[in-house]
């Protein structure tokens, strides 16, 4: 269930369709909602080495941070970032 989050935490940003394709490669014949590490590691290693998924463009990230900068001061504080990442 968390494959998309795991892959994204490794710096890859696949679409949901691409996550489903990846899941199809690593999931057991009978889907259980779990993936065995032994199947996941070789597939994810190939994804990382081949740079299969492009990172999020810098301008998209900048726009996201600008949206969080309510005071339009050009930055957000550590406290604001922690709040956004943990509460919202």
Instruction: Report domain extents, the chain.
Output: 2-50, 58-87
Does residue 28 have a pLDDT over 80?
no
Query: What would the pLDDT profile of 46-58 be if each residue is shown by its tens digit?
Result: 988 888 887 778 8
Asked whether the whole model's pTM tops 0.85, one would answer: no
Buried b (16+ CB within 10 A) or exposed e, 38-65: eebeeebeebeeeeebeeeeeeeeeeee
């Amino acid at each position: 269930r968390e494959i998309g989050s795991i892959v994204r935490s490794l710096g890859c940003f696949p679409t949901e369709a691409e996550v489903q394709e990846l899941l199809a490669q690593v999931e057991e014949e009978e889907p259980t909602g779990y993936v065995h590490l032994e199947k996941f590691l070789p597939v994810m290693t190939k994804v990382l080495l081949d740079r299969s998924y492009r990172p999020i463009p810098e301008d998209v990230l900048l726009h996201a941070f600008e949206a969080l900068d309510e005071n339009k001061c050009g930055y957000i504080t550590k406290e604001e970032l922690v709040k956004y990442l943990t509460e919202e």
